[in-house]
Amino acid sequence: MLRSVPPTALMVLAIAGCGRDEAKPNARPRDAGPKPDEPPALVTSDLPFRYPAALYARRAQGNVMLRLFIDRDGHVVPESTRIDEPSPFAAFDSAAVRGSESLRFVPAKLHGEPIPVAVLFPVYFRHPEAKPLPGDTVLR
């Protein structure tokens, strides 16, 4: 049985192609610099993404693909964050961009030295009482 979840909760978050602990530089932009030996790893434990209340009430769902620039200290450079693939709802896009500013990573490394890197970072907004979106796999 599913419990009601407050609109401040994000149902699902994954990082491009590798689970919750690492972000991979997928489809790296031309200015991304050298490919790291070690990708950045997410260290933020409480995810900062907030489900917009109006969309939660409508049981809306969507995916946002962000392009983040993570500096050599593991911080997201807020002014560099871009929406690579928008969701059907602008409010999800805004919530994803706002939340990304609070993400922290172990920085990417090249030859053991931290380097800045651009990554694709998907944010999935899922409502616990809505039907799965095409492509989702759900165990209930």
Residue ranges per structural domain of the chain: 31-125
Fold of 31-125: TolA/TonB C-terminal domain (3.30.2420)
pTM: 0.76
Helix, strand, coil percentages in the chain from 3-state DSSP, rounded to 5: 15, 30, 55
Question: pLDDT tens, 95-127?
Answer: 999 999 999 999 999 999 999 999 999 999 999
Residue with tokens 């031309």: 30
Q: What is the pLDDT of residue 135?
A: 84
**Cα(133)–Cα(127) distance, integer angstroms:** 10
CA distances in angstroms from 101 to 58, 79, 120, listed in the order given:
26, 9, 14
CA distances in angstroms from 56 to 61, 63, 136, listed in the order given:
8, 14, 18
Q: What is the pLDDT of residue 34?
A: 79
